[in-house]
Amino acid sequence: MNQSKQKVLITGGGSGIGLSLAQKFMEHGNTVIVTGRNLAKLEKVKTDFPQIHIYQSDVTKEEDVKSLVDQIQTEFGGIDVLVNNAGIMLLLDTANENNDLQKQFEEIEINYHAPIRMLYYFLPQLKKSKSATLINVSSGLAYVPFAQAPVYSGTKAAVHLWTQAIRPQLKPHNIKVVELLPPVVDTKLSKDADLKDDNLKPMPPEKLAELFWKDYTNGKEEITPGLSKQLKLMSRLAPKFIFKQLNKPAIPNK
């Protein structure tokens, strides 16, 4: 696999896992374009990494994605690697009548509909690339649902199965499909979720990017760093046991 001189687009690459992956791709001589909704955050990233390219673009907005496709085509002549990374996680108790239904639908939009939308619109560019790769960032929770984040767990399982289903369809078009299933990683997403009572030690994002890079460059298609490897195994060997272990408090603190 070609690991340098590629044009890499990372959604939600202005922070957390996306930014660590961006750094890794840049370290290895690739051109990296990151997107996000918050322009100030992206501009700060541009100050820290002047070689990075930033675009304010919301993965849930059809017009944003179409305009991103056009701008990237004009400026870079297309992409070789699409990383569907943007995501949010809501903790909620489904039994609470006061839950925000629209927020739950927004979570499905960002986490599941958006990767499908991004691939749909960037497909022509990927088909033209000599070494195209789609990387979907799902979660270890695709193997074992986390009760405190029920909609999130559903979206990640959906991304996982979608990734498996499209892999043989894209192969004849020379588009390699890779899935990264991170464990708990120390980012805003996991901090906001306040997982401290759950006895899960977050992995630093730089460490995740290092483990990802090793497996990615070895041609691995399903990348399961840290605890995700155990979740995968246990979901097959003892699914009820691991579900109970992960979900001792099934209701979120707040």
Ligand X SMILES: NC(=O)c1ccc[n+]([C@@H]2O[C@H](COP(=O)([O-])OP(=O)(O)OC[C@H]3O[C@@H](n4cnc5c(N)ncnc54)[C@H](OP(=O)(O)O)[C@@H]3O)[C@@H](O)[C@H]2O)c1
Footprint on this chain of ligand X (rule: CB under 6 A): 11-12, 14-18, 35-38, 41, 58-60, 85-89, 110, 137, 139, 182, 184-185, 187-190
Identify the residue whose tokens are 């700060």.
44
End-to-end C-alpha distance for the chain, whole angstroms: 45
Q: Between 8 and 110, whose beta carbon lies closer to ligand X?
A: 110
- How far apart CA 111 and CA 13 sit, in angstroms, is 14
- Nearest approach, Cβ of residue 172 and ligand X (Å): 28
Q: What is the CA radius of gyration of the chain?
A: 18
The nearer residue to ligand X, 133 or 155, going by C-beta atoms, is 155
Is the CB of 145 or the CB of 182 nearer to ligand X?
182
Q: Closest distance between ligand X and the C-beta of residue 36, in Å?
A: 3
DSSP 204: P
Q: Residue 198 corresponds to which tokens in the numbers above?
A: 């759950």
Residue 246 beta carbon to ligand X: minimum distance, rounded to whole angstroms? 13
Instruction: State how far the Cα of 61 lies from the Cα of 65, in Å rounded to an integer.
Output: 6
Report which DSSP code applies to 124: H
Catalytically annotated residues: 152
Burial string for 221-240 (b: 16+ CB within 10 Å, else e) reads ebbbbbbbeebbebbeeeee
Least CB distance from residue 234 to ligand X, whole Å?
A: 17
Q: Is 152 left (phi over 0), alpha (psi -120 to 50) or beta?
A: alpha
Closer residue to ligand X, CB minimum distance, 14 or 252: 14
